[in-house]
Amino acid sequence: MSSAAGAVARLIVPFLTVASVVGAGLVAESAPQVRLASDGNPLEGHSFYVNPSSKAARAAQGDPSPELQMIANTPTAYWMDNVSSPAVDAKYIATAQAAGTMPILALYGIPHRDCGSYAAGGFGSAAAYKGWIDGVAAAIGGGPAAVILEPDALAMADCLSGDQREERYNLMSYAVDTLTRNPGTAVYVDAGHSRWVAADEMANRLNRVGVAKARGFSLNTANFFTTEEEIGYGDAISGQTGGKPTSSTRRATAPGRPKARCTGAIRAVAPSALRRPPRPGTETSTRSYG
C-alpha cells in the first residue's frame, strides 16, 4: 500500500438499502468548489437518519421481536432515480436534516444504467441527468448528506460503446463536482465489488471520474459478499487512488446463498450482518467499522 494510503483514514460503513426516490431542479451555475478527503471527515458529529416510515418500521410495529426492531432501527440508504417524485425526494432529505441527522442517498439514474436490463432505466440523455444531479444538490442544500454515487455504473461500463462509456465517465465526474460543492456532502463513487473488475482497472476508472474530489468510493452496494472479502479489494484500489477512504456497503443476508444479487423473500437476514450498524464519524488511521 502506498504511503498516501497509510496517511489517509479509511471508513468501512455497512449501509443497507431501501426504496427509490428522485429529485430534480436547478442550482445557480458557478465554478465547482470541491471538498477533498484530506479536509476532514464530513460525517463527524452526525447520526445517520432512520426512516420511521420504512417497510421494516411498519413490520416491527406489528411484531415487536428484537430481530425486527434491530432491522427497523438500522439506518438505510434511500435510493433515488429517474422515476420518482422530486417532491418526495426533497421532503425525505429535508426531514432527515431537520431531525439533526444525515440521510444516506444512493443515486441510481445514470443513462444506459444496466446493459443486462436487470434494473433497466436511467435518464434518457446527458442533459436530463445533469439537471437531476443539480436538483439533488439543491435538495441537499448546505445540510449534511452521505451519497453513494451510481451503484455498479463503473463496474458495468464494459458493456457500453466507446462514446457511451466516455459519456458515463463525464457525467459521473459532473456529479462529483456538483455534489461536493457542499462541504457537508460526503460523496462515495461506487466501485462494484471484489469479483467484478480488477483493482488496477477499477482504480483507473475511479481516477477518471474524479474520485480525488470525492470522500472516497463504495463497494458491495448491490451485492452480498462479506465485508472481509471486500477489504483486500478496497485496499488495492485505495493504494492507487491517493489513499481514498473506502465505504463497504454490504446488504445484510444469511450466508451460503449462490446468487450474489438476489433480493426479497429468498434472502434471509443474518443477525450477525447487523452487528456492525452504520455509524458515522469513526475514521482512524487504519480503518474502523460502524
Dihedral over Cα of 67, 68, 73, 78: its sign: positive
Q: What is the DSSP string of 188-221?
A: EEE---TTTS-HHHHHHHHHHTTGGGSSEEEE-T
- Angle of helix 199-208 relative to helix 162-179, nearest 10 degrees, comes to 60
273, 271, 213: which is closest to 249 by C-alpha?
Answer: 273
Strand duo 10-12 + 47-48: pairing: unpaired
Distance, CA of 234 to chain centre = 15
CB 280 within 8 A of CB 18: no
What are φ and ψ of residue 77, in 5° steps? -80, 145
CB 104 within 8 A of CB 146: yes
Task: Tell me whether residue 152 is one of the annotated catalytic residues.
Answer: yes
* Spatial separation of the C-alpha atoms in residues 257 and 59, rounded to whole Å: 24
Given 152, 158, 190, 200, the catalytic residue = 152
Strand duo 145-149 + 216-219: pairing: unpaired
Active site residues: 152
